[in-house]
Amino acid sequence: MRIGFIGLGNMGGPMARNLLKAGHELTVFDLSETAVAAAVKAGASKANSVAELASGDRELIITMLPAAQHVKGVYLGDNGLLASVAAGVHLIDSSTIDPMSAREVAKAAAEHGNPMLDAPVSGGTGGAEAGTLTFMVGGEPDEFEFARPVLETMGKNIVHCGPAGNGQVAKVANNMLLGISMIGAAEAMSLGVSLGMDPKVLAGVINTSSGRCWSTDTYNPYPGVIDGVPSSRGYTGGFGTDLMIKDLGLATEAAKSVRQPVVMGALAQQLYQGMSFEGHGDLDFSAIIKRYSSDQE
């Protein structure tokens, strides 16, 4: 397929490479010349502007941008995507942004004659490189079926979450719960160890009991309990605390927009913010356990 790709950052770069590997004909745009050069070396063509990319002969354009302001700028700006793209070209935004903005952009696209999906991902840079990302997709069922084979070249779990914006809703809800349960796991593991338990034995009990969660059985924050996760390599790599703060910010903002209380979600946001405030925003978010467990410091 002739695909345009905008946004070649830590996630977008490897995603674009997986599209190339799958045989797609890719044209890319990014402000970073280095990122563009890397993609060109891997087989992509380059466009010199969003408008140039959008006005070319593409069947599908995928964007992967840092925040809602960039998404709105790229899609809705004066020289933006919708101002240049032909009606009928398919659009997928894989950025993680608030559901309201996603719906606003999807509506503008639909009015312009472009079917659009929001398809934020989870799985981190490791998943982007391995092509094992999860895509949470919002949009029309037909459009989802159209996009699925393309998304499957970049991910292994492609989930339809409902109409436009629902991909973002699913991601924001999932990641809010993740942010909460990781702190819960950190508190429970630290409390048990402080009271005299061996961390591996405690994790074993929890993982066969009602406290079981991804944060205990797959990504345990206590060092030495699980091999190969950030807690066992000094909390490097993984999912940065500042990214978790961004996602929790999206969750509390989205909650505000629908007048929905999220007490634990808001507390989690502030606790990670406190960790970032003390200079640890670049560590994996499971390093929140350092606030509870002196053995970790």
- Assess 44 for contact with its own copies (CB under 8 A): no
The active-site residue out of 171, 200, 246, 290 is 171
Task: Identify the three-state secondary structure at position 119.
Answer: coil
By CB under 8 A, residue 249 contacts its own copies: yes
Binding to its own copies by residue 251, rule CB under 8 A?
yes
String of contacts with its own copies for each residue 178-217, x by CB under 8 A: x-xx-xxx-xxxxxx-xxxxx--xx-xxx-xxxxxxxxx-
Nearer to its own copies (CB atom), residue 6 or residue 185: 185
Tell me, residue by residue from 111 to 130, as one string, x for binding to its own copies by CB under 8 A and - for no binding.
-----------x--------
Q: Give the shortest CB-213-to-its own copies separation in angstroms.
A: 3
Bridge partner residues of 157 (DSSP): 134
Q: Binders of its own copies: how many residues, by CB under 8 A?
A: 81
DSSP 3-state assignment of 87? coil
276 binds its own copies (CB under 8 A): yes
Q: Cβ 94 to its own copies, closest distance in Å?
A: 16
- Looking at the Cβ atoms of 16 and 188, the one nearer to its own copies is 188
Neighbours of 78 (CB within 10 A): 7
Task: Assess contact for 238 and 285: CB atoms under 8 A.
Answer: yes
Judge contact between 117 and 103, C-beta under 8 A. Answer: no
Distance CA 233, CA 12 (A): 26
171 is catalytic: yes
Rounded to whole angstroms, the Cα distance separating 178 from 69 reads 25
Residue 190 neighbours by CB under 8 Å, 6+ apart: 222, 289, 292, 293
Asked if residues 4 and 27 have their Cβ atoms less than 8 Å apart, the reply is yes
Output the six-digit token pair for 246: 């961004």
**Restricting to residues 126-165, which ones interact with its own copies according to CB under 8 A?**
134, 136, 157, 159-163, 165
264 binds its own copies (CB under 8 A): yes
User: In this complex, which beta carbon is closest to its own copies, that of residue 148 or of residue 256?
Assistant: 256
C-beta of residue 166 within 8 angstroms of C-beta of residue 98: no
Q: Which residues pair with 60 in a beta bridge?
A: 3, 90
User: What number of other Cβ atoms are within 10 A of residue 58's Cβ?
Assistant: 23
Stretch that binds its own copies, among 19-27, 29-37, 77-85, 249-257 (CB under 8 A): 249-257
Decide whether 56 or 162 has the Cβ nearer to its own copies. Answer: 162
Q: Cβ of residue 242: shortest distance to its own copies, in angstroms? A: 9
Residues in region 68-97 near its own copies by CB under 8 A: none
Cα dihedral 252, 257, 263, 268 in deg (nearest 10): 0
Binding of residue 266 to its own copies (CB under 8 A): yes
Q: Based on C-alpha coordinates, what's the Rg of the chain?
A: 20
> Of the two residues 216 and 231, which places its CB atom closer to its own copies in the complex?
216
Smallest gap from residue 8 Cβ to its own copies (A): 25
Instruction: Give least dist CB 33 to its own copies, A.
Output: 30
Active site residues: 171
